[in-house]
Amino acid sequence: MKTGTSRIYLDNATTTRIDPAVLEEMYEFEKRCWGVPAQIHTPGREARRALDASRERIARCLGVGEEEITFTSGATEANSLALFGAAQSPGRQRNGNHHIITSSVEHPSVLRACETLEGQGFEVTYLPVNSEGLVDPDDVARAIKDDTILISILLAEGETGAIQPVRDIANIAGARGITFHTDAAQAVGKIPVHPPDLGADLLSVSAHKFHGPKGIGVLYTRSGTRITPLLRGGPEQDTLRPGTVNVANCVGMAAALELASSRLENDMPRVVALRDRLLEGVTSIGCPIRPNGPKDDKNRLPGSLCLLFEGLEAEALLMNLDSAGVYIGAGNACASGALDPSSVLLATGLSRLDALNSIRISLSRDNSLRDVELALERFGSVVCRLRSVPV
């Protein structure tokens, strides 16, 4: 990248830049409060008040009760706590309930948890998706067995931006008395997310996906839903997630969620307009391009764009754009540092070659029209250069 070249970040599905207002609130808290909430002296009580206030702020944004919020280190831990906690809750194994339903496009933290549960004797059904990356609720209904105890289907997927029909799936689960979990990490801050409206018993959230700090998340657990802790320790968070809580991160998550929630109605239409302008511009640069994922905007996250560049390797495009100061995502990183084809795109029916030729662009409220126009200039230059390279 040339010195002075503007850096344009278009990989917000991976992580977002922490909002300066969030960072300032965390900094001010850390300056004045260093206690541990479990202590009864003044610094401890100050930390406890900040922790309780953060939980209340997050609960209010999600439309749930404060007692239903458990802080975790992120969505990966929240997903593990939800799946292992629900599968291994008291009485379930003893009663022989061993069947779990999930999808083929879940986050690795869900898929790996399910694989581990299979090794422990649970049966897991991995549902397919259609060419748009969507789960069919009828497939969920058909997969249910008498011993199904848990259904886990993500709310939105980060590669294609596909928003799953979670409300319909939750209704199916609820009618059969089956616990329903959804990984909402990619959705919160981009679309309205209220667990009661979705019908979720368990819901996972990660702060760094909506301009909050890394290393903090939440598991919403509907009152009355039985899960068992993964960790053993002290009485923190009613023993469901013992261990000293990072209160500053909780404060930051609460601040970030309040900002995202209050700005959602104004920010997301602007993000959609930027995405549409980017798609319009990219399709006019002289390279055959095909969008992946949902065709209908109501089934797609506002800032998500997944594009197949026919005849161009995504890895080469990613690396050349990186040199030009444009940062996007593509595929799955493998041990060698190269890219493997996206497992999500393969699940939608794309060939290995088409998956390897696909990129992911994800915008956020931080992006501007200037970002998009500069990115389009650099896309055009990079694509022209790559297409002129002899094969």
User: Among all residues, which ones are annotated catalytic?
Assistant: 334
Cα-Cα-Cα-Cα torsion 98, 99, 103, 104, nearest 10 degrees, comes to 70
Helix (H, G, I), strand (E, B) or coil at 262: helix
Which residue has tokens 């979990």? 181
DSSP, collapsed to helix, strand or coil, labels residue 327 as strand
DSSP 342: P
Instruction: Tell me the C-alpha distance between 25 and 316, whole Å.
Output: 40
Strand-strand pairing, 304-309 and 326-327? unpaired
Residue 220 sits at φ, ψ, to 5 deg, of -80, 130
Alpha-helix runs per DSSP H in the chain: 20-32, 42-62, 75-87, 108-119, 137-143, 166-175, 195-198, 247-282, 314-323, 343-347, 352-356, 369-387
Helix residue ranges per DSSP H, 90-175? 108-119, 137-143, 166-175
Taking the C-alpha atoms of residue 210 and residue 190, their distance in angstroms, rounded to an integer, is: 8
CA-closest candidate to residue 273, choices 182, 383, 202, 369:
369
